[in-house]
């Protein structure tokens, strides 16, 4: 694997800008100004066909006239001339570019062809580029700002890769107000050359970056994305917002950047498998990402809550419980220590609720320190840390009875947060704060300056703590080796030949499953009543009888499935009923399973993804309940085990209401072998095993549907 091109793109020693002029209304001009006045110390070469000087800098009239090949070329030119300009840079030896210009794949067939032409030129010269249809990049450490707004923030520790340019450009003032400092940011645009995978690899190697934030409309190289993200997420937290899981979200993403989206449950499976923390909003992506970037990692799942009001403490507890954060009751010895410091009405159990107190020291120093030192928590949430916002609101009342100026009154209320802000580093445990205050509050500003995450409502603080807890679990996960390579079973090739020749009916499908060691029902394919009767005697009553044709997909709805046939008379009646509906279709005589739980497993196909393995609650209610989970193939044993646990009703796999536990090893084997089958035979587009019936704890495939490409 070669050197990641982003190492040069994010750290160039020279930049040529094509598309800037003395017209301040042009995007290229704005980006050039941000490069110049953002502090970039390397060479800057404006290129313009007629201008001789741009913003006091000598302009070159043609790429070919540049004194040497710059490390990086920035193209903000009309769409039609992008290929020509990129070719000019290729000829002089520039190997890295950012193409801001839009009008490519996202616009339809003509744009797709033009983007392919640009890629052909880049490949010819060994060039890599960000874009097209992007808003640039930011490196606060160099510094280098190729975007449309100034970046007024100190060196940061949170990296951002976004398929929307807005989220690394127009949001910079918002991030600055929130105290969030970015290390690196990349607007990937259409991802023609450099994509999210390249960004993840680069951020994973970047020493300045402590956590990664992603805005995603669709992923193209899902298998490589999974491989890279799974490796990185164990040391650097990754937070992602995905917006392509709905019909309107997918349509918007396709017109925005030409993204190929997929259903939510598929992306949920990818994120869980990769160790990525999914969030609902871009605000959560930024603020939870910042929390993960700045706070020490949790060493367990226990959190403490300290509040000056009962409601926020209850809200934090509720959110914590929903996300798997433990809020343990404090020991009697710890509670005794707390009671000696607090008024009698205060609660010391966890949450510690001070109710209303005017002395701020217990809230911002004594109790937080005691809780951090207790050994009973792995992280701390505090609600109500504020000072001047409260005093400013109170002054109109207080001035009626005190003779002091507003500024003096507000100044008197300022609290010392030295103890509180030093706790995370001192104890190696995360701290998050919430309070209902404005950004002008003195205490809030101190928290932001010390990189202590602050949230304006308690539930958001608890959600951030939950993300810290989630990353603890990600770090503890056992990530097994990839499944060992294995030859295709010899009999599988013969099964596939038959399926491709005569169709993937249920009998042929189960023969292929059996070749991979997947347990299936005993059965026989028949045409005549005599054959059906003979097969039933061999299998043993009761039996099931059903149509067996690749052209009949929904047999139950067409009344071509008969179950629990106890004898020959019942079999004959069922045979006659099916023949009245279809005189020619082959039939399947199958052993009648008497199971007590039903599951579904299968393979689904999505553009840009390897075969996806699905598992969930089966039977006739599968589509109504929709309790399914997904993992990307190839599955190892750990992936398959996590897939079983990922469904809501996973308790049904254990001992349940007097039923024995499902044989997990056998179920894991089914999922792993399904994954292997799908990768061995790409001609199989979809597989639906429903139901997988559990008989005495043993899973057996009762019905199978294959869809061929």
Instruction: Give the span between the Cα atoms of 511 and 517, in whole angstroms.
Output: 10
Distance of CA 237 to the CA centre of its chain: 11
Instruction: Give the span between the Cα atoms of 212 and 158, in whole angstroms.
Output: 6
Q: Where are the alpha helices (DSSP H) in 503-528?
A: 506-515
Instruction: Give the span between the Cα atoms of 296 and 413, in whole angstroms.
Output: 30
Of the candidates 582, 593, 603, the one whose C-alpha atom is nearest the C-alpha of residue 707 is 603
Of the candidates 494, 506, 524, 678, the one whose C-alpha atom is nearest the C-alpha of residue 604 is 678
Q: What pLDDT shows up at residue 248?
A: 57
Class of residue 224 by CB neighbours under 10 A (exposed 0-12, middle 13-18, buried 19+): middle
Percent of the chain at pLDDT exceeding 90: 82
Assess whether pLDDT exceeds 80 at residue 254: no
Instruction: Give the span between the Cα atoms of 702 and 707, in whole angstroms.
Output: 17
Q: In which element (H, E) is residue 383 found?
A: strand 379-383
Q: What pLDDT shows up at residue 261?
A: 58
Q: Evaluate whether 417 touches 447 at the Cβ level (below 8 Å).
A: yes
Question: 27-41, 248-262, 285-299, 614-628: which range is least confident on average?
Answer: 248-262
- Per the model's pLDDT, the better-predicted residue between 411 and 278 turns out to be 278
Assess whether pLDDT exceeds 70 at residue 259: no
> pLDDT category, 138, cuts 50, 70, 90?
very high
Q: What angle do CA 30, 34, 38 make, to 5 degrees?
A: 170
pLDDT tens-digit map of 521-540: 999 999 999 999 999 999 99
Instruction: Give the span between the Cα atoms of 135 and 75, in whole angstroms.
Output: 11
Q: In which element (H, E) is residue 285 found?
A: helix 282-294
Find the mean pLDDT for residues 253-261: 49
pLDDT tens-digit map of 139-153: 999 999 999 999 987
Assess whether pLDDT exceeds 80 at residue 344: no
Q: What pLDDT shows up at residue 82?
A: 98
Assess whether pLDDT exceeds 60 at residue 260: no
Q: In which element (H, E) is residue 250 found?
A: helix 247-257
Class of residue 419 by CB neighbours under 10 A (exposed 0-12, middle 13-18, buried 19+): middle
Q: Evaluate whether 297 touches 471 at the Cβ level (below 8 Å).
A: yes
> pLDDT category, 345, cuts 50, 70, 90?
confident
Sheet harboring 561-565: ordered strands across? 523-526, 587-591, 543-547, 561-565
> What average pLDDT does the chain have?
93
Instruction: Give the span between the Cα atoms of 33 and 641, in whole angstroms.
Output: 54
22 SS3 class? coil
Find the mean pLDDT for residues 548-572: 90
Assess whether pLDDT exceeds 70 at residue 255: no
Confirm whether 6-292 and 295-476 share one CATH topology.
Answer: yes
Q: Evaluate whether 167 touches 215 at the Cβ level (below 8 Å).
A: yes
> pLDDT category, 15, cuts 50, 70, 90?
very high
Instruction: Give the span between the Cα atoms of 134 and 514, in whole angstroms.
Output: 50
Assess whether pLDDT exceeds 60 at residue 556: yes
Instruction: Give the span between the Cα atoms of 99 and 90, in whole angstroms.
Output: 14
Instruction: Give the span between the Cα atoms of 345 and 356, in whole angstroms.
Output: 10
Q: What pLDDT shows up at residue 252?
A: 45
For residue 18, which phi and psi values (nearest 5 degrees)?
-110, 115
Domain boundaries, the chain: 6-292, 295-476
Assess whether pLDDT exceeds 60 at residue 251: no
Could you identify the residue written with the tokens 């101190």? 446
pLDDT tens-digit map of 592-617: 998 889 999 999 999 889 999 999 99
Pairing of strands 182-187, 158-162: parallel
Assess whether pLDDT exceeds 70 at residue 1: no
Q: Evaluate whether 147 touches 162 at the Cβ level (below 8 Å).
A: no
Count of residues for the chain?
Answer: 709
Of the candidates 81, 134, 704, 158, the one whose C-alpha atom is nearest the C-alpha of residue 453 is 158
Q: What pLDDT shows up at residue 266?
A: 94
Q: What pLDDT shows up at residue 253?
A: 46
Find the mean pLDDT for residues 14-31: 96
Structure tokens at 566: 């106890």
Structure tokens at 660: 């024995």
Q: In which element (H, E) is residue 689 found?
A: strand 684-695
pLDDT tens-digit map of 437-482: 877 899 999 999 999 999 999 999 999 999 999 999 999 999 888 8
> pLDDT category, 580, cuts 50, 70, 90?
very high
- Per the model's pLDDT, the better-predicted residue between 258 and 708 turns out to be 708
CATH superfamily assigned to domain 295-476: Succinyl-CoA synthetase domains (3.40.50.261)
> pLDDT category, 246, cuts 50, 70, 90?
low
Q: What is each CA distance from 8 to 60, 64, 100, 140, 632, in whole angstroms?
A: 23, 21, 17, 15, 32
Evaluate the omega torsion of the peptide bond into residue 31 and state whether it is cis, within 30 degrees of 0.
no
Q: What is the pTM (predicted TM-score) of this model?
A: 0.93
Q: What pLDDT shows up at residue 375?
A: 97
Q: What pLDDT shows up at residue 256?
A: 43
6-292 is a CATH 3.40.50.261 domain: yes
Neighbours of 142 (CB within 10 A): 18
């Amino acid at each position: 694997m070669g050197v990641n091109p982003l190492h040069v793109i994010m750290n160039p020693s020279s930049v040529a800008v094509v598309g800037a002029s003395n017209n301040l209304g042009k995007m290229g001009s704005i980006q050039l100004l941000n490069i110049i006045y953002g502090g970039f110390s390397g060479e800057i070469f404006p290129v313009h066909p007629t201008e001789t000087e741009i913003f006091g800098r000598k302009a070159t009239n043609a790429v070919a006239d540049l004194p040497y090949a710059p490390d990086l070329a920035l193209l903000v030119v009309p769409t039609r001339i992008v290929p020509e300009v990129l070719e000019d840079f290729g000829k002089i030896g520039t190997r890295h570019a950012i193409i801001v210009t839009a009008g490519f794949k996202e616009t339809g067939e003509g744009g797709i062809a033009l983007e392919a032409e640009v890629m052909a030129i880049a490949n010819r010269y060994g060039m890599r580029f960000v874009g097209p249809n992007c808003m640039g990049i930011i490196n606060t450490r160099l510094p280098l700002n190729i975007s449309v707004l100034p970046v007024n923030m100190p060196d940061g520790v949170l990296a951002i890769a976004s398929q929307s340019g807005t989220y690394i450009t127009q949001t910079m003032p918002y991030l600055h107000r929130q105290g969030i400092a970015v290390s690196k940011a990349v607007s990937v645009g259409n991802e023609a050359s450099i994509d999210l995978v390249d960004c993840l690899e680069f951020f994973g190697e970047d020493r300045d970056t402590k956590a990664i934030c992603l805005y995603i409309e669709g992923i193209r190289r899902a298998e490589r994305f999974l491989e890279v993200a799974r490796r990185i997420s164990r040391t650097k937290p990754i937070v992602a917002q995905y917006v392509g899981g709905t019909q309107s979200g997918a349509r918007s993403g396709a017109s925005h950047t030409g993204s190929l989206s997929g259903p939510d449950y598929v992306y949920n499976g990818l994120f869980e498998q990769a160790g990525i923390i999914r969030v609902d909003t871009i605000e959560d992506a930024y603020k939870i990402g910042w929390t993960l970037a700045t706070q020490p990692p949790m060493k367990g799942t226990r959190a403490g809550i300290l509040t000056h009001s009962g409601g926020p403490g209850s809200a934090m507890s509720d959110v914590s419980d929903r996300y798997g954060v433990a809020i343990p009751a404090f020991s009697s010895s710890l509670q005794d220590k707390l009671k000696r410091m607090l008024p009698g009405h205060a609660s010391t159990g966890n949450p510690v609720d001070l109710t209303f107190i005017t002395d701020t020291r217990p809230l911002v120093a004594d109790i937080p320190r005691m809780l951090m030192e207790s050994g009973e928590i792995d992280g701390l949430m505090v609600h109500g840390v504020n000072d001047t916002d409260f005093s400013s609101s109170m002054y109109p009342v207080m001035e009626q009875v005190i003779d002091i100026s507003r500024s003096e009154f507000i100044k008197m209320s300022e609290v010392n947060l030295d103890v509180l802000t030093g706790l995370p580093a001192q104890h190696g445990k995360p701290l998050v704060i919430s309070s209902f205050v404005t950004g002008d509050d003195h205490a809030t500003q101190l928290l932001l300056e010390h990189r202590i995450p602050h949230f304006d409502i308690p539930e958001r603080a608890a959600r951030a703590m939950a993300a810290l807890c989630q990353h603890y679990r990600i770090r503890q996960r056992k990530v097994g080796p990839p499944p060992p390579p294995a030859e295709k079973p010899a009999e599988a090739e013969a099964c596939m030949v038959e399926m491709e020749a005569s169709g993937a009916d249920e009998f042929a499908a189960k023969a292929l499953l059996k070749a991979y060691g997947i347990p299936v029902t005993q059965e026989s394919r028949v045409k005549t009543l005599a054959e059906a009767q003979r097969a039933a005697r061999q299998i043993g009553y009761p039996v099931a009888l059903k149509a067996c044709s690749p052209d009949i997909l929904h047999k139950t709805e067409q009344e071509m499935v008969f179950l629990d046939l106890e004898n020959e008379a019942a079999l004959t009646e069922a045979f006659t009923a099916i023949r009245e509906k279809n005189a020619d279709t082959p039939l399947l005589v199958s052993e009648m399973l008497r199971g007590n739980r039903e599951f579904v497993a299968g393979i689904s196909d999505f553009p840009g993804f390897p075969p996806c393995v699905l598992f969930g609650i089966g039977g006739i209610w599968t589509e109504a309940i929709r309790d399914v989970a997904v993992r990307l193939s190839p599955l190892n044993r750990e992936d398959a085990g996590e897939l079983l646990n990922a469904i809501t009703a996973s308790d049904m796999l254990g001992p349940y209401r007097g039923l024995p536990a499902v044989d997990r090893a056998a179920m894991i084997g089914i999922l792993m072998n399904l994954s292997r089958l799908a990768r061995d035979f790409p001609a199989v587009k979809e597989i639906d095993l429903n139901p997988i019936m559990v008989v005495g704890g043993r899973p057996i495939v009762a019905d199978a549907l294959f869809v061929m490409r």
